[in-house]
Chain A
Amino acid sequence: MIEVLLRSLLLAAASAGLLLLVGPLLAYLNRRPYPGRTLVESLLLTPLALPPTVLGFYLLLLLSPGGPIARISGLSLAFTFPGMVLGASVFSLPFAYTAYREAFRALDEDLLETARTLGAGRFRRVREVMLPLVWPGIVSGTLLAFAHALGEFGVVLMVGGNIPGKTQVASTYIYDLVEGLEFSAAHRASIVMLALAFAFVYLTRALEERWRSTTGSTGHSRSR
Chain B
Amino acid sequence: MEIHYRIHRPLPLAVAFRVEGFTALLGPSGAGKTTLLKALAGLLPAEGTPYAGLPPEKRPIGYLPQNAALFPHLTAWQNVAFALPQLRGADRERVARAWLQRFGLAHRAEHRPRELSGGEARRVALARALARNPELLLLDEPTAGLDRPNRDQVLRAILYAVEEHGVHALVATHDPELAHAADRLVVLDAGRMLQAGPGDEVYRRPATLRVARLLGFENLIPGAVAGYRPPHVEVATKAGILRVPGNPLPPGTRVVLAVRPEEVLIVREDRPLKPLDAGNTIAGRIRRLRRMGPVVEAEFEGAFRLVLRLPRHVQDRLELRPGEPRRIVLKPRYLQLFSEEEEASFSSD
Contact = CB atoms under 8 A, between A and B. Distances in A.
B85 A215 contact: no
Q: Which of A108, A117, A219, A221 counts the most chain B CB atoms within 10 A? A: A219
Contacts, number: 101
Interface residues of A, number: 26
Given A111-B72, A218-B69, A221-B146, 12 more contacts: A110-B65, A111-B71, A113-B38, A113-B56, A113-B65, A117-B61, A117-B129, A133-B73, A219-B116, A220-B68, A220-B121, A221-B117
A217 B74 CA distance: 11
A215 B114 CA distance: 8
A40 B107 CA distance: 49
A133 B63 CA distance: 21
A129 interface: yes
B62 A219 contact: no
Interface stretch (A68-76, A119-127, A182-190): A119-127
Contacts of B118: 219-222
B113 A129 contact: no
A116 B70 CA distance: 13
B112 A114 contact: no
Given A118-B129, A214-B112, A219-B116, A128 B82 contact: yes
Contacts of A218: 67-72, 113, 121
Nearest to B120: A219
A111 B56 contact: no
Contact of A219 (B43, B57, B68, B150): B68
25 contacts: A110-B67, A111-B72, A114-B64, A115-B71, A116-B42, A116-B56, A116-B57, A117-B43, A117-B129, A121-B57, A124-B85, A128-B71, A128-B82, A133-B72, A214-B73, A215-B72, A216-B72, A218-B69, A218-B70, A218-B113, A219-B67, A219-B69, A219-B114, A219-B118, A221-B117
Contacts of B119: 221
Interface in B44-70: 55-57, 59, 61-65, 67-70
Interface of A: 108, 110-111, 113-121, 124, 128-129, 132-133, 214-222
A217 B128 contact: no
B139 to A, nearest CB: 12
Contact of B65 (A114, A120, A129, A222): A114
Contacts of A119: 57, 83, 85, 132
